[in-house]
Amino acid sequence: MMSGRNRRLQRPQTSSRVLARRAVGLFRPYRAAFALLFALLVASTALDLAGVRLLGAMVDQMTADGDRSSLNRLLAIFVALVLASALLGVWQSYVNQIIGQGVTLRLRTALHDHLQRLSLRFYTQTRTGEILSRVSTDVNAVQQAVTGTFTDFLQNVLTLAIAFGLMFTIEWKLALATLLALPLWVYPTMRVGQHMRDLMRAWHQEAASMSSHLEETLSVSGSMVVRAFGRETHERDRFEASNQELYRLSLRRMMAGRWFNMGTSLFGALIPGLVYWYGGRAVIGQSLSAGDVVAFAMLVQRVFGPFASIARINTTLLSSLAVFERIFEYLDTPVEVEERPGAHRLGRARGAIEFDHVSFGYAGPDRLALDDITFEAAPGTMVALVGPSGAGKTTMTYLLQRFYDPLSGVVRIDGHDLRDLTLDSVSDAVGTVMQSTHLFHASLADNIRYGRLAATDTEVRAAASAAGLDEMIDRLPDGLDTLVGERGYRLSGGEQQRVAIARAVLKDAPILVLDEATASLDSRLEREIREATARLSEGRTTVVIAHRLSTVVAADLILVFDHGRVVERGRHEELLRHEGLYALLYREQFRDTSEAAPEDGELAPLT
C-alpha cells in the first residue's frame, strides 16, 4: 500500500499559474454576480473604513472642546455607516453563496458526467473509494475555498487598498513607510503557500486511500472475506497505518507557516505603538491632530489585520490548488469511446452482427486480447463463444456493446459501424445478462425496472414471472417492494441472476448477450431458467458465453476462442467430428461426471 502511495506522490505537478487560471475560469458563468459581489465588497469596506475616519473626527471634537451637538451628529453618521455596512454584508454573503454553490454544482455535475463517459479501462484501474473521494470530499473542499477563502482574500485586498488611500490623506510619509514594509512578507508567504499546497495534495491522496480501504473492507462482501479469513487484525493494522499517516500530515498542515504567522501578528501588534509614538511627536509639533493620529493608528491595525489574513489566506488558496489539481486530473482523463458528431440513431435493430477483422488489446497492440476476429450472425440466430478462461470471449461482448472501440477492424450491427451510431441506440440494441450481477440497494421492482425505466408495474411483474421469480416474490414479506440490500446480498446467487434476466426481458433488446448466465445456478435451477431464456431468446440474435458446453449444442454457430483468436467455428456436430479444441473441452467436461453428454445431433435447450 505504501509503494502505491509513493507512486501517486511522484505524479508530475501542474504549475500554480495554470491551475489558478483554470480555477478562475470556473467563475465565467457568474460574471454578473461576481461584479455585484465586488461592488458590494467595495461599498461595505468603504463604509466600514469611513467610520474609522469619523472616530478620528470625534476625537478632534473632544480635544478641541467641541460642542455636544457636533458629537451627536458624528455619532449618528457613524451608526448609519455601521448599519449600512452590516446590511450590505448580508447581501454580500447571499451573492457569495450563489456564486460558490453554483460553481460547486457545475463542477460536481461536470465531474460526474465525465466519469460516466469514461471507458471501463478507467474503472478497472481506479479504486472506487478514490473516485468517491474526488467527487465528494474534493468538490466540497472547492466549495469551501470559493465561498470562504476566496471572498475573504478579495475583501482583505479591498480593505488594504481603501485603508492605504485614507492613510495617505492623513500622513503620507508614515503611510509610505508602512506600504514599503509590506513586500517583506511576499516571498515568505509564497514559500509557505507552496509548502501548504504539497501537504494538502498528500493529505487528500492519503484520505482517498483510506476511503478506498474502508469501501473495500466495510462493504458486505469485503466484511465477509475479512471475517472468513480471520484478517481483522491485519485490516486494523492497515487502517491504523493510514490513520497515523493522516494524523502526521494533518499536524504538518496545521503547523506549516506558524512561525511566519506569529511574526506577522507580532509586527501587527507592535505597529500601533510606533504610530502613537510618531504621531504623538507630530501632535506636539502641531503637524497632526490627535484625531488624525487615532484614525491613522486604527487604519494601520485595519491594514495589518487584513494583511496577516492575506498571508494566511494566500497559503490556503495555494494549498486549495491541490484540490483543483486532483479534480482537473479526472476532468482531463481522455474519453476513449466518443460519440461522433452527426452520429445517427439505429432505431429498432433487426439484430445482424458482424465482426470484420477486429483486433483489440487493453494495453495496446503489443498484447492483443482479440486478434483478427471475423464472423457474421444473421438476425434471430444463436452464436456461442467457448474456450478457456481469458481467451477473449467476454472482451468480444464488450466491443459489441461498445464499452471499447477496436484497435483495428469494424464491429457492425445491421451493417452500421458502431462508431457511426449514437451510444444510446447501441445500448438499446443490446441486452446483457452478465456472469456477475450488480443490484442496487433498492426494491426488487426498481432493480428490475432498471431495464426500462418507463415500464409499468404490470410489465415489471410480467418480466419477473418470465425469469421465474414468482415463487420468490410470493414468499418475500413485501413482494416486489422488498429491499434487496447492498449489491443484492439479501438474495441468493441464483435469485440475483434471475433478476438480471428479468431486466433483460424488460429491456426487450433485439440482441441478447448471455455471459455465463447460469453460472451461479445448480442443475435444477439451470434447467428452469433455460426455459425462461429460451422464450426470451426467441426472435433475437443471442450471443452466449458458457463453460457448460451442454447448453450451447443448439447454437447456429459456435466460435472456439484460444489466446484471443478464433481457432474453430461451426455447429456442435461439426466441431466434434473435427476432433479439435472444442471436442477436447467437451469430452473433458463430461468425463467422470454425473451429467450425461447429449448425443451427437441432440439439441439441448437454449441457455
* Co-location of 318 and 370 in the same domain: no
* Co-location of 166 and 257 in the same domain: yes
* Co-location of 402 and 299 in the same domain: no
Total-model pTM: 0.68
pLDDT > 70: what percent of the chain? 80
Q: How many domains does the chain have?
A: 2
* Co-location of 465 and 551 in the same domain: yes
Amino acid identity of residue 181, one-letter, is A
Return the CATH number at 459. Answer: 3.40.50.300
Question: Diameter of the chain by CA atoms?
Answer: 121
* Co-location of 358 and 285 in the same domain: no
* Chosen domain end from 261, 296, 331: 331
* Co-location of 327 and 363 in the same domain: no
Asked if residue 601 belongs to a domain, the reply is: no
Question: Which residues are registered as beta bridge partners of 542?
Answer: 382, 512
* Co-location of 428 and 516 in the same domain: yes
For residue 409, what pLDDT band results from cuts at 50, 70 and 90? very high
* Co-location of 441 and 583 in the same domain: yes
Closest to 78 measured CA to CA, from 106, 56, 55, 102: 55
Q: Which three-class secondary structure state does DSSP give residue 600?
A: coil
Task: Look at residue 12 in the predicted model and tell me its pLDDT.
Answer: 45
Asked if residue 9 belongs to a domain, the reply is: no
Is residue 536 within 8 Å of residue 483, measured between CB atoms? no
Asked if residue 343 belongs to a domain, the reply is: no
Q: What is the mean pLDDT of residues 464-491?
A: 81
Lowest mean pLDDT among 483-492, 515-524, 533-542: 515-524
* Co-location of 429 and 298 in the same domain: no
Asked if residue 160 belongs to a domain, the reply is: yes
The grid cell for 347 is: 432505431
Q: Which three-class secondary structure state does DSSP give residue 331?
A: helix
Question: Which residues are registered as beta bridge partners of 384?
Answer: 544, 558
Asked if residue 420 belongs to a domain, the reply is: yes
Q: What is the mean pLDDT of residues 235-246?
A: 83
For residue 54, what pLDDT band results from cuts at 50, 70 and 90? confident
Asked if residue 345 belongs to a domain, the reply is: no
Query: For residue 515, what is the DSSP state?
Result: E
* Co-location of 316 and 361 in the same domain: no
Strands 408-413 and 353-360 come out as: antiparallel
Phi and psi dihedrals of 421, rounded to 5?
-105, 155
* Co-location of 474 and 534 in the same domain: yes
Return the CATH number at 107. Answer: 1.20.1560.10
116 vs 193, more confident: 116
Amino acid identity of residue 362, one-letter, is Y
Looking at the predicted structure, is the pLDDT value of residue 186 above 70? no
Mean pLDDT, rounded, of the chain: 79
pLDDT > 90: what percent of the chain? 14
Kindly tell me the burial class for residue 25, based on how many C-beta atoms sit within 10 Å of its own C-beta (0-12, 13-18, 19 or more): exposed
Phi and psi dihedrals of 597, rounded to 5?
-75, 140
d(CA 209, CA 213): 6
Q: What is the distance of C-alpha 68 from the center of its chain?
A: 65
Q: What range defines the domain where residue 94 resides?
A: 20-331
Asked if residue 599 belongs to a domain, the reply is: no
Is residue 395 within 8 Å of residue 472, measured between CB atoms? no
Query: b/e string for 149-166 if b means 16 or more Cβ within 10 A?
Result: bbbbbbbbbbbbebbbeb
d(CA 143, CA 118): 25
Asked if residue 337 belongs to a domain, the reply is: no
* Co-location of 444 and 299 in the same domain: no
d(CA 169, CA 171): 6
pLDDT digits (tens, 9 = 90+) for 173-183: 878 877 776 66
d(CA 475, CA 498): 16
Q: Which three-class secondary structure state does DSSP give residue 360?
A: strand
